[in-house]
Structure 1
Amino acid sequence: MKRALIVIDVQNEYVTGNLPIAYPPLDESLANIAAAMDAASASGIPVIAVQQAAPDTSPIFARGSHGFALHETVTSRTYDHLVEKALPSSFAGTDLGEWLTARGIETLTIAGYMTQNCDESTARDAAHRGYTVEFLSDATGTLAMSNRAGTVTAEELHRAVLVVMQSRFAAVATTAEWINAVRRGASLEEKPNIFASTEAGRRASRT
């Protein structure tokens, strides 16, 4: 098993900009992102930083703006590759797939923002490409949303995505659980299982 840690869109836009992360609390997710990066570097696991870019007229992630810049949590640490993207999946229109293939990466660990957008899109894309995917529950995060389809809190949205990820696409774990596995050179113990998740859901609905 050869891992890589992908740190998605940890940019100022999510900290002091127009998309402030609300759940898990920002200081907690940033601390866990830092811990994951440090653990990866200490264990020789490649770290890929991803940066969302938008035209300079965009209200978010405008290229060259303060919001576009990577947050100091990332810039104060070393990473092995930088990917700039314009779409939710970190694979779309980038060299990420080729970079991972060239290094024999088999397992991709997801951290960063936002849970249901670029994190989830990258995780699904990675699973479809044959990677084993790990999703760090407390080193990712999102914010509340409301539109014509309804309203959802940041906590509800984050939790729902984690449940979906664990059911089929990724092994969900806390950063501490992941670091422990990394230090042991082991994979995460609980694997995605859609049948088990739906069975458990039916049992829970009857209680």
Structure 2
Amino acid sequence: MNRALLVIDVQNEYISGNLPIGFPDPEVSLANIGKAIDAATEAGIPVIAVQQTAPETSPIFARGSHGFALHPVVSSRSHDHLIEKTLPSCFAGTDLEEWLAERDIDTVVIAGYMTQNCDESTARDAAHRGLKVEFLSDATGTLAMSNHAGSLGAEQLHSAVLVVLQSRFASVLTTGEWIDAVEHGTSVPKPDIFASTQAGRDAAAEGRLM
């Protein structure tokens, strides 16, 4: 296994800007992002910082604004590559796929924001490109959503995405579990769509699901 850590959009916009992360508590996710970067650096795993960018007139991620800037938890640490993107997936319109291929990287590790947007899009895209994906449940996060289709709280949305990703697209684990896997070669939970649906059916039949 040859990993690279993607630190996705850990920018001020999500902490002190117009898109404040609601769950997990950003103090928790930021601390875990820092731990993941440090562990990756110690293990010789490349760290790729990713930065969402928008025109200067945009209400979010406007180039040159405070919200656009990388949060200090990332900017104070070294990284091996920096990607700017305008779309959710880190692969869309960037050199990420080529950069990974040149280094024979077969596994991407996802940390950062938002769970259901850039994180999930990147995880699915990576899986479709034949890469393994590890998704850090407590080094990612999101906020509440409400629109024409309905409303979801931040914790509900975050948790639902984790379950979906673990069913098919990614190995979902905590930062501590991931660091242990890196340091000691311990196994990570493998995605399994049939096992996930079977367990879901069993839980529903037993009245453990709403």
Residue equivalent to 1:202: 201
Map of 1:58-207 to 2, 5 A cutoff? 58-188=58-188, 190-207=189-206
Give the Cα separation in 2 of the matches to 1:22 and 1:67: 17
Listed one character per residue, the Cα deviations across residues 104-125 of structure 1 (whole Å, up to 9, x for unaligned) are 0011000000000000000000
Q: Aligned AA for 2:98? A: E
**TM-score if structure 1 supplies the norm length?**
0.98
Q: Unaligned stretches of 5+ in structure 2?
A: none
Give the Cα separation in 2 of the matches to 1:83 and 1:123: 16
Q: Offset of 1:186 from its aligned partner? A: 4.5
Residue equivalent to 1:15: 15
**TM-score if structure 2 supplies the norm length?**
0.97
Residue equivalent to 2:41: 41
Q: Percent identity?
A: 72
Q: Offset of 1:36 from its aligned partner? A: 0.2
Report the 3-state secondary structure (helix = DSSP H, G, I; strand = E; otherwise coil) of the residue aligned with 1:49.
strand
Q: Offset of 1:184 from its aligned partner? A: 1.5
Q: Aligned AA for 1:4? A: A
Q: Unaligned stretches of 5+ in structure 1?
A: none
